[in-house]
Amino acid sequence: MSNVITISGQHGSGRKELGEMIASSLGVPFYGDNLAAMIAEEGKVDLSLVEAMDQVEPDTEEASVLHVAQNRTSLTKTIYQAQESVIRRLAGEGPCVILERCSETILPDAVNIFVYGDLEYRIGRIMKVHPELSRYSLKSHVLSVDNRRKSYCEAYAPGKWGRMETYDICLNAGLVGLDGCLKVTLEYIRGVR
């Protein structure tokens, strides 16, 4: 499955842009934001629910007596199962680049890439797009998104998100930029094929 590439990474690292760049360079489909609609259709769940539950850690309290918590757990599992099905189907259709959504654990034989950068680099990238946000509020936001993403992924693949053993390539976008990450990735992919 080396013709399928998964991209995961820290919030603000540029993982989505890198995924789009890789897909464009290879002439293959990129699946990122469009995955939510596919997952909603597969799971027969309203798109707004998929987006609201996007990478939210499942409620794993077994002793929970709240009906709401039970429904949330069931919904999260339904969405994850649909997500897994969609990702496997897309990978089976041919070469592509898939962003996030535990794709690195769903497709362990793909070329799995993790993009990271120091906190200042990531905050700086986000501030270029959202200059109205303060550096202080972004710091807690970035860390919160990373923690939520890690918790979500680890609920389905314990101990794997962000660990170098899970990925074929870990790229520090803060050091080499996205163009440097692209160059390294394309060279790696040529070697794998």
Q: Is the pLDDT of residue 63 over 70?
A: no
Q: Is the pLDDT of residue 171 over 50?
A: yes
Q: Are 148 and 39 in contact (CB under 8 A)?
A: no
DSSP 8-state code for residue 56 = P
pLDDT of 25 = 97
DSSP 8-state code for residue 165 = G
Q: Is the pLDDT of residue 161 over 70?
A: yes
**Torsion sign (Cα): 79, 84, 87, 90:** negative
Q: What percent of the chain has pLDDT over 70?
A: 87
pLDDT tens digits, one per residue of 7-56: 999 999 999 999 999 999 999 999 999 999 999 999 999 999 888 876 55
- Residue 63: phi, psi to the nearest 5? -90, 5
pLDDT of 64 = 43
Q: Is the pLDDT of residue 75 over 80?
A: yes
More confident residue, 137 or 184: 184
For residue 172, give the nearest of 107, 108, 103, 119 by alpha carbon. Answer: 119
Q: What percent of the chain has pLDDT over 90?
A: 67
Q: What distance in Å separates the CA atoms of residue 37 and residue 50, rounded to the nearest whole number?
A: 8
3-state SS string over 57-87? CCCCCCCCCCHHHHHHHHHHHHHHHHHHHHH
For the segment 136-156, the average pLDDT, to the nearest whole number, is: 89
For residue 90, CA distances in Å to 85, 132, 140 come to: 9, 37, 34
Chain-centre distance of CA 148, in angstroms?
A: 12
More confident residue, 137 or 183: 183
Residues across the chain: 193
Q: Are 113 and 5 in contact (CB under 8 A)?
A: yes
Q: Is the pLDDT of residue 99 over 90?
A: yes
In the chain, what are the domains? 4-192 (3.40.50.300)
pLDDT of 65 = 40
pLDDT tens digits, one per residue of 120-130: 999 999 999 99
Residue 21 half-sphere exposure toward CB, CA atoms < 13 A: 15
Residues 6+ apart with CB under 8 A from 39: 45, 50, 79, 82, 83, 86, 101
Least confident of 77-91, 120-134, 149-163, 171-185: 149-163
pLDDT of 62 = 43
